[in-house]
Amino acid sequence: MSEREDGTAAQEGRLPSIPAHLRALMAEIGPEWGKNVSSNVKLMVAEFSKVLRGGPKGGIERHAGLRYGTHERQAVDVFLPENGERRRPALVFVHGGAFVEGDRNRTPEIYSNVLVYFARHGVVGVNVGYRLAPEARYPEATRDVGAAIAWVKENAGRLGIDPGRIFLMGHSAGGAHVASYAYDRRLHPAEGPGIAGLVILSGRVRADNRPENPNARKVEAYYGADADFEDVSPVNHVDAESVPTFIAWAEYENPLIDVYCAELAYRLAAAKRRSPPLMWLKGHNHTSAVAHIGTDDEALAQAILGFIAEPP
């Protein structure tokens, strides 16, 4: 399936603003975010979908539902810039959903907002679906990420992608899956992960079933209740040779995710003897951290573009 993405509500090139009432709502629920994560996520998805509906989508071509495997969830949507270049960077995005939920198209706007934004800035966007727990347990979601990366490499020529500039990005549980792929050598293909860099956005990069984790049972559904959480946690597999990594997290996170993102930053810095690029998203929550991409609050998106242009 192919269709040209043409913006309708927005003037070409003008990104929508986060309205004052939504900013107020974010400020109101932020400090209470962890008390009702599921409801807060749904609320933010609904509100940001309304905002993003008015955003520009012209200048790109979308190819939806391309298969990289036989399972119905093993499919990608590709967003191609219409700039005529033949060796462009690519950003491969993996959504969250607490290991047992989620979809690459949670709404018509989320998570395609991420790929639309980057495609409009000359980066081929690839939105990845993958199998969920309990049907697929650790490390099967990471194996799907690897299969999607292999598919991108195999199709790089026809998609105009430079195979040496493929970047991988994951949000929430998607951050766990992409980090396992990037850091854990046991899950690499023989030639290595084959990516130029990794973007972790509010990623649960340490597996845990602590009482303070409201998604503890969902973590167990993927990793197993009796798993060796130290062994399966991607944060424990970084070393001096780990791929360049950009890390960002919100002021108001699902419990422990900010702690684990900060731990990842520390471990990378200790191993590489320099800090990775970081961003702390003031005023944002776990869901707005990804849902605001495509609005005129561009600090995060522009920082990621800078990372793609020149990874450290």
Q: What is the pLDDT of residues 106-135, one digit of tens each?
A: 999 999 999 999 999 999 999 999 999 999
**Residue 137 counted as domain residue:** yes
Q: What is the pLDDT of residues 30-61, one digit of tens each?
A: 999 999 999 999 999 999 999 999 999 999 99
| Cα 109 from Cα 275, distance rounded (Å) | 34
Indicate the number of domains in the chain.
1
- 271 occurs within a structural domain: yes
pLDDT beneath 50, residues of the chain: 1-9
Q: Which residues contact 38 (CB under 8 A, 6 or more apart)?
A: none
Spatial contact of 169 and 178, defined as CB atoms under 8 Å apart: yes
Q: What is the pLDDT of residue 12?
A: 56
Tokens 């360049």 sit on residue: 244
**pTM for the whole thing?**
0.95
Q: What is d(CA 121, CA 118) in angstroms, rounded to the nearest whole number?
A: 5
Residue 203 included in any domain: yes
Any domain includes 241: yes
- Amino acid at site 268: L
For residues 159 and 206, the answer to whether their CB atoms sit within 8 Å is no
Per the structure, the complete domain to which residue 251 belongs is given by 36-309
Report yes or no on 3 lying in a domain.
Answer: no
Residues ≥6 apart with Cβ < 8 Å to 158? none
22 assigned to some structural domain:
no
Which CATH number belongs to the domain containing residue 53 in this structure?
Answer: 3.40.50.1820
Domain assignment present for residue 177? The answer is yes
Answer yes or no: is 4 within a domain: no
